[in-house]
């Protein structure tokens, strides 16, 4: 009989977002008249930039004519034109020299951050660290790959190292004293909205250089950085190409959550170690995985992503991001006016607030839904250190954001 991967059975049934959906659906069924505003899941609401629409329609037309029709991509890593623009606009503009051959276009950062585990040794071969609170996919994919033991009552998995991010350390946990082989960093951070400074990133690159660790740097929210002293890429730190993979996405800057395009950079300088102790290029392994288990992103969608890098496209993306950032500011200021302590929002579409009256995260979730029909995300859903915090997303219409702020103020004051 076919034997299943029993590691899956260690996963906690109540994944965060399905549990939120369950509670919201139950509330809506019991209160069909309630005007619920959803600031929970980080999904965009505004239409795609016009440049992307135009580029994709043109690409669709090309697919309907024999002479311009595209079959299998010559290169499943992504269109050369797209990868060249990525390198120029996202990296060269920040002083980082990235080789287009090290850029891999994919259908999502969630897929990429999960799939990288395929090319790493499983079980207890690597010591793996995540922040707490953390984007749950980093943890769950490690559980599925058999890199952890069972979960504790606090939903923490044996064998994973949790780096506590809290108010005391500005949600930037310091590098540990122990050796770590693989570290997940996310900046701007989901859920806390914090951005790593150059000094902070340098401390991790230095740590990784010393221990020859691998940093998985998730920069899916990079477009939301507004403060000029903050780094947009880990490659702004000297030596990072030898220790870090960077993940980027078109989901949150250009609104591609339902259109699907992302990319990662796996520098040729990056080495892992095989079981015999030899250095092995992680990019070469990733290339092999990419070619064997993936056929590239749809030509139509890649052309849409490429349009983001036109002059008009860059302006349209800036407008879109500014719109959500203004939403985030309004939530943040509205909450501060009634004495709520808030983080994030300045360089992030997320507001990370301290629950009023010492409520637990889920108590505040239920209270908010029940009293003023607002949906957010309980901080404890992202990890034990998220307890007592709550995430509000700025991805919504201005009208809904203004209504949400009024409701929040009414509730708290």
The footprint of a second copy on residues 198-217 (CB under 8 A) is: 211-214
**Nearer Cβ to a second copy (288/410):** 288
Q: How far apart are the first and last CA of the chain?
A: 61
**Nearer Cβ to a second copy (29/65):** 65
Q: Is 326 in the site for a second copy (CB under 8 A)?
A: no
What number of other Cβ atoms are within 10 A of residue 25's Cβ?
10
Question: Cβ distance 112 to 251 under 8 Å?
Answer: no
Query: What is the radius of gyration, based on Cα positions, of the chain?
Result: 22
Before 133, cis peptide (omega within 30)?
yes
C-alpha 279/C-alpha 138 separation (Å) is: 25
Looking at residues 347 to 376 of the shown chain, list those that interact with a second copy (rule: CB under 8 A). Answer: none
Q: Is 400 in the site for a second copy (CB under 8 A)?
A: no
Q: Is 182 in the site for a second copy (CB under 8 A)?
A: yes
C-alpha 208/C-alpha 171 separation (Å) is: 20
31-39, 111-119, 170-178, 306-314 -> range binding a second copy (CB under 8 A): 111-119
**Nearer Cβ to a second copy (232/252):** 252
Q: Is 105 in the site for a second copy (CB under 8 A)?
A: no
Interface pick for a second copy out of 28, 101, 121, 384 (rule CB under 8 A): 121
Q: Is 293 in the site for a second copy (CB under 8 A)?
A: yes
Question: Cβ distance 281 to 102 under 8 Å?
Answer: no
Looking at residues 44 to 103 of the shown chain, list those that interact with a second copy (rule: CB under 8 A). Answer: 44-48, 50, 52-53, 56-57, 60-61, 63-66, 69-73
Residue 222: name the closest of 289, 308, 163 by CA. Answer: 308
C-alpha 340/C-alpha 264 separation (Å) is: 37
Looking at residues 9 to 28 of the shown chain, list those that interact with a second copy (rule: CB under 8 A). Answer: 9, 11, 15
Tokens of 11: 């996963």
**Nearer Cβ to a second copy (259/348):** 259
**Nearer Cβ to a second copy (2/357):** 2
Looking at residues 298 to 317 of the shown chain, list those that interact with a second copy (rule: CB under 8 A). Answer: 298-301
C-alpha 87/C-alpha 338 separation (Å) is: 44
Query: Closest distance between a second copy and the C-beta of residue 192, in Å?
Result: 21
Q: Is 258 in the site for a second copy (CB under 8 A)?
A: yes
Tokens of 332: 């943040």
C-alpha 292/C-alpha 26 separation (Å) is: 43
Question: Cβ distance 117 to 129 under 8 Å?
Answer: no
C-alpha 232/C-alpha 62 separation (Å) is: 35
Query: Closest distance between a second copy and the C-beta of residue 15, in Å?
Result: 7
**Nearer Cβ to a second copy (94/289):** 289
Interface pick for a second copy out of 35, 88, 274, 326 (rule CB under 8 A): 274
Q: Is 111 in the site for a second copy (CB under 8 A)?
A: yes
Query: Closest distance between a second copy and the C-beta of residue 66, in Å?
Result: 5
**Nearer Cβ to a second copy (200/299):** 299
Interface pick for a second copy out of 20, 98, 120, 134 (rule CB under 8 A): 120
C-alpha 377/C-alpha 133 separation (Å) is: 12
Question: Cβ distance 287 to 280 under 8 Å?
Answer: no
Q: Is 412 in the site for a second copy (CB under 8 A)?
A: no
**Nearer Cβ to a second copy (63/80):** 63
Compute the CA torsion angle 277, 269, 261, 141 (nearest 10 deg): 20
Tokens of 129: 């660290």
Question: Cβ distance 286 to 37 under 8 Å?
Answer: no
90-98, 274-282, 326-334, 384-392 -> range binding a second copy (CB under 8 A): 274-282
105-113, 164-172, 190-198, 309-317 -> range binding a second copy (CB under 8 A): 105-113
Q: Is 403 in the site for a second copy (CB under 8 A)?
A: no
What number of other Cβ atoms are within 10 A of residue 196's Cβ?
23
Q: Is 142 in the site for a second copy (CB under 8 A)?
A: no
| Total residues binding a second copy (CB under 8 A) | 84
Question: Cβ distance 271 to 281 under 8 Å?
Answer: yes
Q: Is 296 in the site for a second copy (CB under 8 A)?
A: yes
């Amino acid at each position: 009989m076919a034997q299943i991967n029993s590691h899956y059975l260690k996963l906690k049934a109540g994944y965060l977002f399905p549990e939120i959906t369950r509670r919201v659906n139950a509330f809506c069924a019991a209160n069909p008249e309630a005007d619920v505003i959803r600031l929970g899941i980080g999904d965009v609401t505004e239409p795609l930039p016009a440049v992307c629409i135009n580029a994709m329609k043109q690409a669709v037309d090309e697919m309907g004519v024999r002479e311009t029709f595209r079959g299998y991509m010559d290169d499943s890593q992504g269109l050369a034109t797209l990868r060249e623009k990525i390198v120029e606009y996202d990296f060269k503009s920040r002083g980082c020299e990235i080789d287009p051959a090290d850029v891999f276009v994919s259908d999502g950062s969630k897929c990429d951050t999960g799939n990288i585990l395929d090319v790493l040794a499983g079980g207890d071969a690597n010591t793996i660290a995540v922040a707490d609170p953390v984007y749950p996919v980093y943890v769950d994919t490690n559980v599925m790959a058999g890199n952890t033991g069972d979960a504790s009552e606090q939903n923490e998995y044996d064998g994973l190292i949790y780096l506590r991010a809290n108010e005391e350390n500005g949600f930037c946990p310091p590098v540990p004293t122990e050796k770590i082989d693989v570290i997940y960093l996310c900046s701007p951070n989901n859920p806390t909205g914090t951005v790593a400074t150059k000094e902070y990133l340098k401390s991790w690159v230095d740590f990784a250089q010393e221990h020859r660790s691998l940093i998985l740097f998730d920069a899916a929210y990079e477009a939301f950085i507004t403060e000029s002293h903050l780094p947009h890429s880990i490659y702004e730190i000297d030596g990072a190409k030898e220790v870090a993979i960077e993940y980027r996405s078109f989901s949150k800057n250009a609104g591609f959550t339902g259109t699907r395009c992302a990319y990662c950079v796996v520098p040729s300088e990056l080495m892992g170690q095989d079981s015999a102790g030899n250095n092995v290029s992680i990019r070469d392994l990733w290339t092999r995985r990419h070619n064997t288990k993936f056929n590239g992103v749809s030509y139509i969608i890649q052309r849409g992503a490429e349009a983001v890098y036109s002059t008009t496209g860059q302006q349209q993306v800036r407008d879109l991001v500014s719109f959500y950032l203004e939403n985030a500011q309004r939530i943040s200021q509205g909450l501060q006016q009634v004495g709520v302590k808030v983080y994030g929002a300045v360089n992030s579409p997320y507001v990370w607030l301290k629950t009023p009256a010492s409520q637990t995260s889920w108590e505040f979730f239920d209270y908010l839904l029940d009293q003023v029909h607002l949906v957010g995300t309980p901080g404890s859903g992202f990890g034990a250190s998220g307890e007592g915090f709550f995430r509000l997303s700025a991805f919504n219409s201005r009208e809904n954001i203004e209504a949400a702020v009024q409701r929040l103020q009414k509730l708290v004051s």
